[in-house]
Structure 1
Amino acid sequence: MARFRRKTCITLTVLILFIFVVIVILKSLRPEGSGFGNPFGLGLFPHLRKAEGGQIQPQLRRDMDGTNGKVRSEERASELEAALGQYPAPNYNLHVFYYTWFGTPQFDGKYIHWDHPILPHWDPKVAAGYPKGRHSPPEDIGANFYPALGAYSSRDPSTVEAHMQQIRTAAVGVLAISWYPPGMKDDNGETTDEIVPLILDVAHKYQVKVVFHIEPYKGRDDLSMYNSVKYIMERYGEHPAFYRHKTSSGKLLPLFYVYDSYLLSSEKWTSLLKDTGRHSVRNTPFDGLFIALLVEEKHKKDILAAGFDGMYTYFATNGFSYGSSHSNWRTIKSFCDSNNLMFIPSIGPGYMDTSVRPWNFQNTRNRINGKYYETAFSAALEARADIISVTSFNEWHEGTQIEKAIPKTAGQTKYQDYLPHKSDAYLEITRKWAEKFDKEREKWLV
Structure 2
Amino acid sequence: MGRFRRKSCLTVLALASFIFLIVVILKSAPQEALNLPGAFGQDLLSNANKMEKPQNQPHPDTNNALPSTDNKPDTKAIDLNVDTALEKYPPPNYNVHAFYYVWYGNPQFDGKYIHWDHPVLPHWDQKVAAAFPTGRHSPPGDIGANFYPALGPYSSRDPAVIDAHMRQMRMAAIGVLAISWYPPGMSDDNGEFSDNIVPLVLDAAHTYQIKVAFHIEPFKGRDEKTMFDSIKYIVEKYGEHPAFFRHKTRTGKALPVYYIYDSYLVSEAQWALLLKPNAEHSIRDTAYDGIFLALLVEEKHKRSILASGFDGMYTYFATNGFTYGSSYRNWKSVKVFCDDNGLIFVPSVGPGYIDTNIRPWNSQNTRNRIKGRYYETALSAAVEAGSRVVSVTSFNEWHEGTQIEMAVPKSGPPAYLDYSPHKPGAYLEITRKWADKFSGEWLF
Cα drift, residue 302 of structure 1? 0.3
1:375-386 equivalences under 5 Å are 375-386=377-388
Cα offset, 1:81, TM superposition: 2.3
**Corresponding position of 1:123:** 125
Query: 2:353·2:402 contact (CA, 8 Å) conserved in 1?
Result: yes
Q: Determine helix, strand or coil for the equivalent of 2:436.
A: helix
User: Offset of 1:250 from its aligned partner?
Assistant: 2.5
Partner of 2:424: 423
Q: Is the 8 A contact 1:180 1:214 kept in 2?
A: yes
CA RMSD of aligned residues (A): 1.4
User: Does residue 220 of structure 1 match 2:244?
Assistant: no
1:372 is matched with which residue?
A: 374
Inter-partner Cα distance in structure 1 for 2:438 and 2:216: 26
The separation in 2 between residues aligned to 1:230 and 1:85, in whole angstroms, is: 36
Cα deviation, 1:292-344, whole Å, max 9, x if unaligned, reads: 00000000000000000000000000000000000000000000000000000
How far apart in 2 are the matches of 1:378 and 1:248? 27
Q: Counterparts of 1:431 and 1:420 in 2: how far apart (Å)?
A: 19
What letter corresponds to residue 393 of structure 1 in structure 2?
F
Q: Aligned to 2:429, what secondary structure does the other structure show?
A: helix
Instruction: Specify the structure having the higher radius of gyration (Cα).
Output: 1
Contact 2:170–2:208, Cα closer than 8 Å, also in 1: yes
Q: Distance in 2 between matches of 1:344 and 1:281?
A: 22
2:328 aligned to 326, 329, 332, which one? 326
Mapping of residues 227-266 of structure 1, within 5 Å: 227-266=229-268
1:155 shift after superposition: 0.4
Letter in 1 for 2:438: F
The one-letter code matched in structure 2 to 1:86 is K
**TM-score normalised over the length of structure 1:** 0.80
Residue among 307, 329, 342 paired with 1:305:
307
Residue in 1 aligned with 2:359?
357
Paired residues of 1:144 and 1:415 also in contact (CA < 8 A): yes
Which of 287, 294, 297 lines up with 1:295 in the alignment?
297
Which is helix-richer, 1 or 2? 1
Q: Which aligned segments of 4 or more residues in structure 1 are displaced greater than 3 angstroms?
A: none
Is the contact made by 1:113 and 1:188 (CA closer than 8 Å) also made in structure 2?
A: yes
Q: 2:258, 2:290 within 8 Å by CA — same for their partners in 1?
A: yes
| 1:149 corresponds to which of 138, 144, 151 | 151
Q: Secondary structure at the match of 1:177?
A: strand
Which residue identity is paired with 1:101?
A: W
Show the 5 A alignment for 1:391-430.
Answer: 391-411=393-413, 413-430=414-431
Map residues 10-25 of structure 1 onto 2, 5 A cutoff: none
Post-superposition Cα deviations, 1:42-88, rounded to whole Å, max 9, x if no partner, equal: xxxxxxxxxxxxxxxxxxxxxxxxxxxxxx9xxxxx94321100100
What is the match of residue 277 of structure 1? 279
SS for the counterpart of 2:176 is strand
TM-superposed deviation, 1:386: 3.3
1:215 aligned partner, one-letter code: E
Equivalence for 1:92: 94
Q: Distance in 1 between matches of 2:435 and 2:281?
A: 38
Paired with 1:260 and 1:95, the residues of 2 have a C-alpha distance of 18
1:195 alignment counterpart: 197
Residue-by-residue CA offset, 1:325-373 (whole Å, 9 max, x unaligned): 0000000000000000000000000000000000001100000000000
Letter paired with 1:98: Y
How many Å separate the matches in 1 of 2:320 and 2:429? 22
Q: Is the contact made by 1:342 and 1:386 (CA closer than 8 Å) also made in structure 2? A: no
- Encode CA deviations 1:8-54: one digit per residue, 9 max, x unaligned: xxxxxxxxxxxxxxxxxxxxxxxxxxxxxxxxxxxxxxxxxxxxxxx
* Equivalent position of 1:102 in the other structure: 104
Question: Are the counterparts in 1 of residues 388 and 438 from structure 2 also a CA contact under 8 Å?
Answer: no
- Secondary structure of the residue aligned to 2:437 is helix
How is 1:155-170 mapped onto 2 (pairs within 5 angstroms)?
155-170=157-172
Residues of 1 paired with 2:389 and 2:255: CA distance? Answer: 15
Verify: 1:340 aligned to 2:357, yes or no: no
The letter of the residue matching 2:183 is P
Q: Match for 1:421: what amino acid?
A: H
Match of 1:437 in 2: 438
Decide which moves more: 351-360 or 380-389: 380-389
- The alignment partner of 1:161 has SS state of helix
Structure 1 residue 409, shift from structure 2 partner = 1.4
- Tell me if the contact between 1:323 and 1:329 (Cα under 8 Å) persists in the aligned partners: yes
- Partner Cα separation in structure 1 for residue 349 and residue 248 of structure 2: 23
- Does the CA contact (< 8 Å) of 2:276 and 2:284 recur in 1? yes
Q: Residue 408 of structure 1 aligns to which amino acid in structure 2?
A: K
Residue 277 of structure 1 and its aligned partner are, at CA, apart by 1.5
Contact 2:389 2:438 in 1 (8 A): no
CA–CA separation in structure 2 for the residues paired with 1:356 and 1:216: 21
Structure 1 residue runs of 5 or longer lacking an equivalent are 1-71, 73-77
SS for the counterpart of 2:375 is: helix
2:296–2:315 CA contact under 8 A, matched in 1: yes
**Contact kept in structure 2, 1:95 and 1:176, CA below 8 Å:** yes
Aligned residue-pair number = 365
| SS, match of residue 97 in structure 2 | strand
Deviations 1:382-439 (A, max 9, x none): 111131000000000000000000000132x12000000000000000000002333x
- Mapped to 1, the partners of 2:389 and 2:116 lie a distance apart of 31
Unaligned runs of 5+ in 2: 1-48, 50-79
| Higher RCO (CA-CA < 8 Å; seq separation 6+) | 2
Distance 1:212 1:396 in 2: 19
Q: Indicate the SS of the match to 1:106.
A: helix
CA distance in 1, matches of 2:281, 2:232: 11
Does residue 388 of structure 2 align to residue 389 of structure 1? no
CA–CA distance in 2 between the matches of 1:409 and 1:202?
32
**Whole-angstrom distance in 2 between the partners of 1:282 and 1:213:** 19
For 1:388 and 1:101, how far apart are their aligned partners in 2? Answer: 23
Task: State the shift of 1:249 in Å.
Answer: 2.3
